[in-house]
Structure 1
Amino acid sequence: MSCEIKSKSKLQSVQWYKGNVPVNAALSEKDSEFDNTIQSILTMNDFKESDIGVYTCEAHNEVGSSTSDSIQVVYALPVLTVKTKKIELQKYGTSIELSCQITSESTISLVQWYKNEQPIYKRTNKTYATRDITSQYLTIKDIQESDIGEYTCEVHNINGSTRTEPIQVMYALPVLTVENKKIEIKQYGERIELYCKITSEYAIQVVQWYKEEYLVCCKNNQKYETINIKSPVLVINDIQESDIGEYSCEVDNIKGRTRSEPIQVVYALPVLTVETKKIEILRYGTRIELSCKTISESSITLVQWYKDEQPIHCGTNEKYSERDIKSPELVINDIQESDIGIYTCEVHNVKGCTRSEHIQVVYALPVLNVEKKKIQIQNYGTAIKLACSITSEYTVSLVQWYREGLPIYCRTSEKYATSDSRSPILTINDIQESDIGEYSCEVYNVKGCTWSEPIQVVYDCERQKFIHELVRQGECGKHYFARVVFIGKNGVGKTSLMNRLIWQKKEVATCTKSTDGIEIEKCNINVSTGKWSRSD
């Protein structure tokens, strides 16, 4: 800047001012070709924004001083001021406004906003809005994670353009990133790690993991591990079916708390659930359906059913049917005793296969089996036993025997005997012709009752006819009818002696029934020698 000074007397001093403040700078002077004229020059090096202002020159001689007209020093390009250089977001979805103060000597022709050095085109983007083309404000609507970054404003006038200092739009809470959102388990017992990347403008205070909405407690728990309280890694040891689910990470800093996206821990193989593990049959000939609920991360390729570990071929067997090849349901038609057993379902997907728990098909009522359906009586007066084996899923509550359809009451009759009311064995004592007939057993449990097949008790007439024929032909010893009388005091053992002579069992031999009138039917007596022998 220069100031021409004319003085008739000698100049004493020259002083430059910026506003009212003296400028301490070296001055240079040039003599004019005219007399008494001097040009004072103020040179400004390393010009800064602070040098903008109004300058004056003051000259002194022996008479006094004079001040020049004002010289205005201005910045030709726009001058931009950003008051808020950092905007912190507490939550996404809100709207914010960025602003910059503009000072310009000439008319503003354009204002252009940038995000991370990329221009923002407001007319084609609903996220951004400005008041007009020369607006110093930028509104960001429905702000999301993608809007985080560094913004600048570039202002143009006729002399050129100026770019502001950056305005940082940042998320004050921790920013969490989950790279692996699904972890597939192929075998239980494995060890897996869940990882969540954390970015935070402020120091992390605590990291907490959750399964579903329940807090995962890592302290004093062998199932879970973390490196420390601020670790973004969760280790799950010996993973089991109960560990399958949705996990998330929650991180705190001084500004607040953020929850990560969920991490799905899934079983890659099909997961099978059998809701009905026992199917009870009350009547043969009916139709039943076995079902197995299937959850699979990938498409099911095959469903195979098994009975007692043997594969069931549904396509070639009218007994079984499926809804389709991928159906986890098996229909058994016209069910019979041979269909009772243990069934399982095996489901395949592209990752492998899984076998279901057992489904037990049982007959709910008692199952009765009569091994000896016909009992022949050789001699009257003997005792026989009728037996019926019982198989029952539930406790047998009652066994009732019948003769010719009429119930037998064992408690009030010496003729019949059972060990208790649930015994499958009936003893008939001193059997006579009146006991000949058809017997059956009825067995009860909590589900109902079942009748056994009939047991025929018959007299062996053919054997007796055969013996009589032999006697008639003289090919067999003659029959004698004998009556033996034992004489002795009461209680000396006459009965025991008698029973032992006719080869009765020890239990019978020690009974106290009187020997008076016992018919000897089971022994032979040689009338010549007097020797006794057993008769079969």
Structure 2
Amino acid sequence: MTLTAAASGFVVFLLFVQVIQGWDYYGVTYSSTEICAVKGSTVEINCTYRYPSRIDGGDTEVKETFWFTKLSGYQPVDLSTDSDYQGRVEYSCYERYYKKSCTLRITDLRESDSAEYKFRFTTNQQDGRYTGSPGVTLRVTDLQVKVSRSSHSNRRELKCHSSCRLPYRSSYIWYISGEKIQSQTSSTYLLYYDYGDSYSCAVKGHEDFPSPPVCINDKICYTDRSICASKGSSVDISCTYSSYQTIRSKFWFNHERSHQWQSPSQPEDLSEDSQFGGRVQVLETETGRSTLRITDLTESDSAQYHFKFTTQWSELRSSLPGTTLTVTALQVQVTRTTVHQSDTEAELKCHSSCSPAGRLSYVWFKNGQKVTGVETSSFKGRVYPGDIISCALKGHENYGSPSVYAPRLPSVSVSPSAEIVEGSSVTLTCSSDANPAAKYTWYKKNGDPDLQPLSKEPQLVFSSIQSSDSGEYYCTAENELGRRTSEYISINVTYTPRLPSVSANPSGRIMERTPVTLTCSSDANPAAKYTWYKENRTLIQGPEGVYHFSNIRSEDRGIYYCKSENQYGEINSSSLFIDVQYAPRLPSVSVSPSAEIVEGSSVNLTCSSDANPAATYTWYKKNEDSPKASGQIFTITDIKAEHTGNYYCEAQNRGGRHNSTLQLIVVSRSMKSVAAGSITSLFLVIIFLFAFFLIRRKRSTKRIAEGPDNNAQPNVGPVCDNPSAAAQRNPSEEQDDLYYATVSFSKNQEDPLYSNIGLAYPKRQKHEEEEEEEDEAGVDYTFVNFKSSSASPELRCQEDSVEDPSALYSTVTKNPRV
């Protein structure tokens, strides 16, 4: 038998009545109004429908067709979108000529699928909606094993039974203590001997949905080994039992409550336990079956439950484990969302990890207020920021689910909260109250509209934070119901100064007497303090890093650098060379050889000047336009008399120019011998004068030694006519006398004694380029110093004389050139 055939055989049509509903040609016809099916099978519910082809001249078109069993906000819930039927529902609808039909197919039937099913269609006409009501009632039941004793022997007869009529010629499978019996395929099984603890059956092809096990001959079998139920709901725990003896007592218990028993080895009736007071009920629906019903379930009710009975001669407990009950709380599950700008359209489901037994009614709450018109496990509506939604089982509102809501405003924190130093480990944490739990994303504020997330975890971790990580950060918290953004948190990373950069302004050529500013800058946090140095000599300290020359000088030329420091360290900059440029200083000129210059000899005129950049030199002769030579040295190899004259050199750079003059006198060879004789005569005159003054001094000393003349007249004033009067002066008034022999040379004389070189020093003018040369007479002096204890009166008188041919000095004058 195929699965489809077996499934269709499971369906029993109890009432074959054609139902037509409608008005004005609208209508729905169901094939049957009641259907009974076995748990685990497949069922098909069929209908046909009709509608007017045209209304008011307009053609009628069907826009929507679906089946439903429940409402949400007074609106039918499409069965194909109901999470309780997910993956188990299929529609087969078509229109052919005048026949329009739709079939609902439900697989893997559950007892909770028992309900009334209705068909609804919608057209394009105004008010063109129609629902076939009443619908089709589906009842899903379990298989049961019925035990009876044979009238002619001690044999037991087991029958696989259902309240729904089973398919004709169905094949069955029998189980003894959970093990399949291969030889048995009929609905009846004759038991000659008790081989096992329990017996159950199933329809072939649906082995996953066997009947509850039954027991015979003083045994206890449990219907379900494991049950899961929602907090606040009710649960039935059943078992079957059998005994040849008269049963005197029976009750349910669980070992979790053994600490309440008077004797740990003697179980006590659960119905008398104070924890279950008023919540426990034992039902005997049929002989040999006991059901423990627990209402208002709590999570503490999770335990393993057992059944026990006693007879006159024995006490019996099952050798098999009891039924394990797990109680879980309801949860609101977000199944579908559509995000809008100001809210979220969400579809929610009141969910439990346990599948509730039977069809239950639910209550929904929004912001603490009950939502009217919704009693299903699903809720669909708009959720705004701040809304909270929960659900509960109807009649058990005190056991509602935890509320679901969009994230609250996230809070952000940083660890460590103290000062953050570069290279340390830093963690940013984002947290928000949200249910379902929020997902987090971290961003750094940088003005980019397409921000790339830094992390999608609650924590953003910097294992070794860098200065570039300084800035403002924020996070977002998001779940299915909304999204919130945190405030900014600022991260300030402190670090040692980076290598300073140094610069000069102006950055190009630096001229003397101009303002210059040196600037030092370094990236540091906290801000650095700066120190300027010139070749290891401290110039200035401060936070600005600026050193200013208001009027830079040539001696400021040199190598400079700065130091940047804060509390985390210090670092020196690279060197900065300051080259101060200036115009040439007054040049220094000289002649070589420095002795007299004779015709035919070679002469070097040298010029030098302090300048930056180095000066270029040009030699000129006075009153001549064209230069004589360039370079520091001007060489005349065969000098002649016509070379006599004033020469000047000009030192020049881009800063300016300056010049100096020297006088060159060339002596002919014939005049050289005359000059030599004259010089010899001059030296003889000097020696003669020296001897004369020496003799006079000795005589004066002798007179003083002989004593004063008593007949001498008092000296009232200077007596220049009487030499003896001068001799009578007080010796204490005598002083050393200095005598000068001045020798000068006149340019205009042709005396060979004057063949020499005299320097002309020009006066500096306010504008260096407009200097006016002015020659001065060069005068050579010969100083003769005579030291005497008594001055000669004759000499003193001679000093007062305007003109005396016997003067002891000779003057040779060199007239200045006009």
Point out the structure with the larger helix share. Answer: 2
Per the TM superposition, whether the score is higher than 0.5 is no
Q: Rg: which structure is higher? A: 2
Q: Structure with the greater relative contact order (CA < 8 A, sep ≥ 6): 1 or 2?
A: 1
